[in-house]
């Protein structure tokens, strides 16, 4: 600490100088903040202002900067000092823009600014310049698990970007489902006709690519390590095994078709004339250039009925509850197999909602003009009789029960079931009954389980809105139908994205930087093991499975797997986990730095711990829109609500704060939390804080949790003011003046 | 015009189960019917929506379902006021108004259109009035319409419109002498020849033998 030299810079531009007393702020920074250097500038983000800071860094040997100006989210390019620890006091969005410019408000506005300067000074003195992750990994080869369209695309795209790829395919040939198709759905202009699958060319390209090595008839026996240094044991069917070093993994294990044998009401299995979509592809491939024949007797096909949503979108709880998204277009394509060969064949598609994402609408129109009949209805049963069937259905437009007789061929659109391995937290014996394949695919040696965690219905978890390619295992990316149901075109795009994400992960691991959402972050979790009580909370709660355990159940951090959310730091009851620039101390010091007026002042203090991803920007934007909120709040951004350690809450309460608002992202199945589980964990932890409050003889309202979205710039001020009213009602905290 | 039911039987025999096919070939703009995607925007947009038995959406579905009798005997398409709201809104750009009129006209030709349907009555009166001289005689057209349901009804209707008629007279917008002869077009015989030819072409298209 002896070589720390601190400097505070007060910007008086953007109206800060007019609204606030800069002299007073400077005095606070100097006397209370104990800053070695305090400077003012009328336009700090100008080249002159930035030069002033640079000069001090060079000539004065400043190591720690506190900039009191705009929000930490503004002017990040001007205030970019990568070699210096820095904190920012938000005087613009957080104070002058969110407070009314009136004489009455002048005093509280100044107090707010004073506190933010105190907090900024306190924070920066506890910060260290992140040195970068020591857990480097330099493997730059991408492992692709699965040799279908998604896997092949990922390998080829990685190769095109200049990286080597290793492909492991379970079966004896490449191509997956796509290789079993007669043709694929139209995927380029004019989207009118089925197209060649192109699988043959793709396989040839793959096989002739010097960057790509293919291992067939093989599976992954074990995956160990972290991004940049995965060690993968590959077991080949013949019995041989090998271990390979890879930097990142794309899991493209695809899907299985939903088992049509579970649909006896549609006569599957009772007559060979009822097939699923895969079955029709087989018939079409067998027929080749000839017309498709009726399987039961080889008779001519004059009438085909396609049953959409067979065993899908089922709300009875028996079949798949979701829409697989590709099957409508597939049925359209298959109806064209018949219509293109012979327009006299009757083809009827019975659907409840025809869903053709992408440019499928043109394909749908094309089928209509080719004479494929589309009937909005729900099929209730298929009755076999001789070589023909009768398809009964409820016509949903005419609202009546009706039927199509003399149908030669019935095609069931049964949908996709992901091949996603074992879910996190699956009890081993329950796995056997599950719909998804219970066999582990990656066999990760991670403490939290052998495969990618799933969200719903067996599909792997990803932050659907912001980071769709991500999974909850850093450096491992799911691509294709294992992630969500999709068709070839979508899987191609998906796999391209996953390959690029894999490359990013390898490069980040090589440089010791964090992956998204804190891309480029050089800080990493540091644990002081001599204080650890082996409680395992961090290893269990880490949303990304970054922390393993050694034989004595001490945590073993794999920094390259870490996303830097700080959930472990929030979980740790003995507070031995910290980041260099974000720790129990950096936030704790800010909380303690605030000047809490006595209980007769009528000036309560409300601490707001706001998620830096959504809630803090929303508060900033509230300021930008001049949405006024209570002057009694003091906002501290946190990496994620999951990183909030209970000590901050008790510290704040013992310091005499009257209330604490925690603002994080939405959690649940449709979560918005950038760290997937952080806000959920925080709300679980906080649901138990009532006891603590009662023990401290405090009202339970004094700690409140809110779900705030980035778009809530109008709602957030309202929440703050409502909460301030609640505090006003229950009265000032009785704990003031004891700390 | 005497063999309408015969025409109907011919059509039935030719298309058997495929009413959609029949509509495609014989009804004006009928080949658009297969392009309907059943979104229901036409049904929701129709100004007369609640007063139809079957919305255009349902009519199209019934055609595909082969409900020939129900469609042709329905008075639904006669309810169309040609406001074109559905045409403007149809995401598939179907000429719905034209199809409705096409269906009505086809049903009429086959002799299966509903009797005593006011729109059909008006259309017939208008047509018969118009083809006589090549132009519409407004006075006679109005009076035919008034008296279509009998003498007493006609007198009542005429009396109720008395003040409007007088106002039109004063404004020289109505000439009582028109009742006797009225204007004609220059080449009446030519018009008649033209109409005859048009009917021939249409009959041929709709598969009727002369």
| A596-739: CATH architecture | 3-Layer(aba) Sandwich (3.40)
Q: How many CA atoms lie within 13 A of A379 on its CB side?
A: 29
In chain B, what are the domain boundaries? 4-113, 118-198
Note whether A1-129 and A596-739 share their fold: yes
Chain B residues lying within 8 Å of A332, measured CB to CB: none
Calpha distance A680→A565 (Å, rounded):
13
Closest residue on chain A to B32 (Cα): A369
Q: What is the DSSP letter of A30?
A: I
Closest residue on chain A to B21 (Cα): A371
A260 Cα to chain B: minimum distance (Å): 28
User: Could you tell me which CATH class the domain B4-113 is placed in?
Assistant: mainly alpha
Confidence band, pLDDT 50/70/90 cuts, at residue A555? very high
What are the tens digits of pLDDT across the range A97-145?
A: 999 999 999 999 999 999 999 999 999 999 999 988 888 899 999 999 9
**Per-residue pLDDT averaged across A535-545, rounded?**
95
> E strands of A694-735, at which residues?
703-707
Instruction: Check whether A328 has a pLDDT greater than 70.
Output: yes
What are the tens digits of pLDDT across the range A384-439?
A: 989 999 999 999 999 999 999 999 999 999 999 999 989 887 665 555 555 544 68
CATH code, A1-129: 3.40.50.960
Q: Does residue B39 belong to the interface with chain A, where contact is any CB pair within 8 Å?
A: no
B207 Cα to chain A: minimum distance (Å): 21
Calpha distance A591→A606 (Å, rounded):
10
Chain A residues lying within 8 Å of B61, measured CB to CB: 375-376, 395, 397-398
Q: Do A398 and B62 touch (CB under 8 A)?
A: yes
Q: Does residue A394 belong to the interface with chain B, where contact is any CB pair within 8 Å?
A: no
CATH topology for the A259-414 domain? FAD/NAD(P)-binding domain (3.50.50)
Q: Do B61 and A354 touch (CB under 8 A)?
A: no
Q: Does residue A393 belong to the interface with chain B, where contact is any CB pair within 8 Å?
A: no
Q: Which residues of A361-381 are buried (b: 16+ CB within 10 A; e: fewer)?
A: bebbbbbbebbbbbbbbebee
pLDDT at residue A573, rounded to an integer = 95
Q: Do A375 and B62 touch (CB under 8 A)?
A: no
pLDDT at residue A438, rounded to an integer = 65
Q: What is the ipTM of this complex?
A: 0.84
Q: Does residue B92 belong to the interface with chain A, where contact is any CB pair within 8 Å?
A: yes
Q: Do B35 and A375 touch (CB under 8 A)?
A: no
Q: Do A369 and B34 touch (CB under 8 A)?
A: yes
A403 Cα to chain B: minimum distance (Å): 10
The answer to whether A64 touches A7, Cβ cutoff 8 Å, is yes
CB-nearest partner of A398 from B20, B37, B61: B61
In terms of Cα–Cα distance, which of A420, A453, A455 is closest to A438? A420
Calpha distance A710→A715 (Å, rounded):
10
pLDDT at residue A290, rounded to an integer = 92
In chain A, what are the domain boundaries? 1-129, 141-256+418-511, 259-414, 596-739
CB-nearest partner of A376 from B34, B35, B38: B38
pLDDT at residue A626, rounded to an integer = 95
| A141-256+418-511: CATH architecture | 3-Layer(bba) Sandwich (3.50)
Confidence band, pLDDT 50/70/90 cuts, at residue B210? very low
Q: Does residue B34 belong to the interface with chain A, where contact is any CB pair within 8 Å?
A: yes
* Region of poorest pLDDT, from A37-46, A126-135, A149-158, A182-191: A126-135
CB-nearest partner of A398 from B35, B65, B92: B65
pLDDT at residue B160, rounded to an integer = 93
Q: Do A354 and B64 touch (CB under 8 A)?
A: no
Q: What is the DSSP letter of A179?
A: G
B64 Cα to chain A: minimum distance (Å): 7
CB-nearest partner of A397 from B34, B35, B58: B58
Which residues lie below 8 Å from residue B190, measured CB to CB, with a gap of 6+? none
**Per-residue pLDDT averaged across A554-573, rounded?**
95
Q: Does residue A373 belong to the interface with chain B, where contact is any CB pair within 8 Å?
A: yes
Instruction: Check whether B10 has a pLDDT greater than 90.
Output: no
Secondary structure (DSSP) of A597-662? PPTTSS---EEEEEETTTHHHHHHHHHHTT----TTEEEEEES-GGG--HHHHHHHHHTT-SEEEE
């Amino acid at each position: 600490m002896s070589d720390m030299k601190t400097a505070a810079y007060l910007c008086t531009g953007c109206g800060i100088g007019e609204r606030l007393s800069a002299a007073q702020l400077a005095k606070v920074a100097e006397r209370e903040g104990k800053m070695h250097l305090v400077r003012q500038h009328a336009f700090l983000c100008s080249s002159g202002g930035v030069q002033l800071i640079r000069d001090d860094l060079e000539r004065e040997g400043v190591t720690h900067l506190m900039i009191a100006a705009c929000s930490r989210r503004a002017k990040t390019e001007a205030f970019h000092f990568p070699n210096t620890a820095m904190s920012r006091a938000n005087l613009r969005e957080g104070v002058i823009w969110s407070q009314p410019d009136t004489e009455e408000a002048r005093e509280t506005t100044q107090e707010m600014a004073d506190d933010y300067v105190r907090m900024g000074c306190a924070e920066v003195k506890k910060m260290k310049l992140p040195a970068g992750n020591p857990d480097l990994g330099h493997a730059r080869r991408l492992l692709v698990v699965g040799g279908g369209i998604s896997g092949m695309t990922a390998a080829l795209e990685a190769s095109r970007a200049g990286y080597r790829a290793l492909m492991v395919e379970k079966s004896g040939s490449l191509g997956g489902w796509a290789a079993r198709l007669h043709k694929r759905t139209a995927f380029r202009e004019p989207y009118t006709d089925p197209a060649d699958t192109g699988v043959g060319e793709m396989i040839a390209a793959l096989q002739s690519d010097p960057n790509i090595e293919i291992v067939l008839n093989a599976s992954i026996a074990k995956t160990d390590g972290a991004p940049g240094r995965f060690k993968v044991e590959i077991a080949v069917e013949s019995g041989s095994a090998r271990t390979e070093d890879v930097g990142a993994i794309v899991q493209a294990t695809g899907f299985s078709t939903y088992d049509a044998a579970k649909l006896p009401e549609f006569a599957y299995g009772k007559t060979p004339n009822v097939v699923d979509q895969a079955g029709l592809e087989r018939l079409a491939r067998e027929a080749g250039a000839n017309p498709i024949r009726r399987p039961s007797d080889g008779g001519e096909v004059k009438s085909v009925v396609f049953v959409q949503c067979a065993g899908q979108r089922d709300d009875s709880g028996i079949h798949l509850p979701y829409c697989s998204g590709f099957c409508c277009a597939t049925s359209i394509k298959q109806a064209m197999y018949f219509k293109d060969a012979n327009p006299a064949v009757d083809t009827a598609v019975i659907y409840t909602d025809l869903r053709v994402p992408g440019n499928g609408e043109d394909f749908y129109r094309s089928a209509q003009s080719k004479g494929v009949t589309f009937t909005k209805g729900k099929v209730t049963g298929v009755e076999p009789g001789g070589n023909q069937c009768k398809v009964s259905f409820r016509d949903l437009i005419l609202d009546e029960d009706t039927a199509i007789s003399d149908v030669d061929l019935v095609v069931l659109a049964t949908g996709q079931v992901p091949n996603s391995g074992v879910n996190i937290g699956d009890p081993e014996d329950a796995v056997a009954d599950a719909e998804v394949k219970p066999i582990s695919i990656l066999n990760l040696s991670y403490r939290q389980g052998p495969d990618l965690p799933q969200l719903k219905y067996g599909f792997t978890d990803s932050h659907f809105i912001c980071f769709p390619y991500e999974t909850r295992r850093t450096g491992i990316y799911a691509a294709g139908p294992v992630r969500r149901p999709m068709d070839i075109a979508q899987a191609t795009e998906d796999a391209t994205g996953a390959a690029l994400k894999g490359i990013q992960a390898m490069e980040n691991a090589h440089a010791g930087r964090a992956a998204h959402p804190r891309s480029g972050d050089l800080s990493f979790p540091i644990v002081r093991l001599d204080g650890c009580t082996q409680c395992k909370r961090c290893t269990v709660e880490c949303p990304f499975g970054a922390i393993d355990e050694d034989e004595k159940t001490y945590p073993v951090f794999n920094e390259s797997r870490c996303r830097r959310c700080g959930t472990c730091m929030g979980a740790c009851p003995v507070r031995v986990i910290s980041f260099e620039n974000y720790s129990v101390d950096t936030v704790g010091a800010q909380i303690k730095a605030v000047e809490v007026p006595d209980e007769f002042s009528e000036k309560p203090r409300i601490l707001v711990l706001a998620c830096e991803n959504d809630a803090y920007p929303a508060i900033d934007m509230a300021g930008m829109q001049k949405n006024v909120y209570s002057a009694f709040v003091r906002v501290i951004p946190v990496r994620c609500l999951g990183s909030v350690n209970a000590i901050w809450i008790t510290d704040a309460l013992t310091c005499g704060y009257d209330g604490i608002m925690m603002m994080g992202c939405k959690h649940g199945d449709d979560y918005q939390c950038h760290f997937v589980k952080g806000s959920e964990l925080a709300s679980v932890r906080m649901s138990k804080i009532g006891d603590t409050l009662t023990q401290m003889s405090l009202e339970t309202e004094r700690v409140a949790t809110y779900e705030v979205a980035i778009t809530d710039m109008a709602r957030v001020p309202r929440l703050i003011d409502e909460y301030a009213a609640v505090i006003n009602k229950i009265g000032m905290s009785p704990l003031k003046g004891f700390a | 015009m005497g063999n309408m039911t015969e025409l109907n039987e011919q059509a039935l025999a030719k298309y058997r189960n495929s009413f959609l096919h029949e509509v495609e070939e014989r009804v004006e703009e009928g080949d658009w019917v297969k392009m309907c995607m059943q979104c229901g925007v036409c049904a929701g947009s129709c100004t007369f929506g609640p007063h139809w038995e079957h919305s255009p959406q349902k009519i199209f579905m019934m055609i595909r379902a082969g409900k020939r009798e129900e469609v042709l005997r329905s008075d639904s398409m006669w309810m169309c006021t040609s406001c074109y709201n559905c045409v403007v809104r149809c995401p598939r750009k179907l000429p719905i108004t034209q199809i409705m009129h096409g269906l009505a006209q086809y049903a009429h030709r086959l002799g299966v259109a509903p009797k005593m349907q006011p729109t059909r009555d008006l259309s017939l009166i208008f047509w018969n009035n118009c083809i006589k001289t090549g132009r519409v005689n407004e006075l006679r057209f109005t009076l035919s319409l008034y008296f279509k349901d009998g003498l007493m009804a006609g007198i009542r209707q005429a009396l109720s419109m008395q003040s409007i008629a007088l106002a039109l007279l004063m404004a020289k917008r109505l000439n009582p002498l028109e009742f006797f002869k009225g204007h004609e077009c220059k080449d009446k015989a030519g018009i008649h020849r033209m109409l005859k030819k048009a009917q021939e072409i249409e009959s041929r298209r709709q598969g009727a033998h002369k």
